[in-house]
Amino acid sequence: MPIKGIILFEPQIPQNTGNIVRTCAVTGATLYLVKPLGFSVSNRMLKRAGLDYWDGVTVKFIDDLNHFLDNTSARFFFYSSHAKKTYSEIEYGPEDFLIFGSETAGLPQAFWGKWPQHFYSIPQREGKRCLNLANAVSIVLYEAWRQQNFN
């Protein structure tokens, strides 16, 4: 496993989560979904986007991400288009959590206030909207796995 898990904070678009399920399946990453979700996990579009990968992925649910992070000994990193440090500055390990915000609202300001040193971005051109959530997860997850020689 390249990391401990991908955490999606209140994801809204089932097709994005389905694509992330596929990415988790081929990398061995566990997927954590922070409630409330903007869709049902039994939604046929979600299963369709994940194709036959949905059953091969460990998916866990988190009711309160703040509580979860306060009680983990693992390292964790948030990804936001507003962060100043880039994702490639991190030396990733197999016990890390990678946390991505909702497609519509991003990550809560409270997380910025509590853990400002944990925020990283994926570089992009000025004035452009952020990347698609599934693409952002893939970029960071594969960098973490590459750093571990794809073991």
Is pLDDT above 90 for 113?
yes
Q: How many domains does the chain have?
A: 1
> Chain-wide mean pLDDT for the chain?
92
- 48-58 average pLDDT score: 72
Say which CATH number the domain at 57 has: 3.40.1280.10
Nearest of 97, 110, 105 to residue 130 by alpha carbon: 105
Does position 127 have pLDDT exceeding 90, yes or no? no
Q: What is the pLDDT averaged over residues 1-18?
A: 92
Would you say 92 and 144 are in contact if contact means Cβ atoms under 8 Å apart? Answer: yes
Q: Which residue has the higher pLDDT, 13 or 47?
A: 13
The token duo for 99 is 């946390």
Percent above pLDDT 70 for the chain = 93
**Does residue 50 register a pLDDT over 60?**
no
Residue 147 to residue 9: CA distance in whole angstroms: 25
d(CA 87, CA 41): 29
Average pLDDT over residues 72-78: 98
**Concatenated DSSP letters of 15-46:** HHHHHHHHHHHHHT--EEEESSPSS-TT-HHH
Instruction: State the pLDDT at residue 55.
Output: 79
pTM: 0.94
Report the pLDDT averaged over residues 33-49. 77
Point out the least confidently predicted range of 40-49, 50-59, 75-84, 87-96: 40-49
The helix/strand/coil state of 132 is: coil
Residue 50, Cβ density class (10 Å: 0-12 exposed, 13-18 middle, ≥19 buried): buried
In the prediction, which pLDDT does 47 show?
Answer: 62
% of the chain with per-residue pLDDT over 90: 79
Domain of 112 in residue numbering reads as 5-147
**pLDDT band at residue 2, thresholds of 50, 70 and 90?**
confident
Cβ-based neighbours of 76, under 8 Å, separated by 6 or more: 7, 69, 96, 97, 98, 99, 115, 118
Neighbours of 77 (CB within 10 A): 23
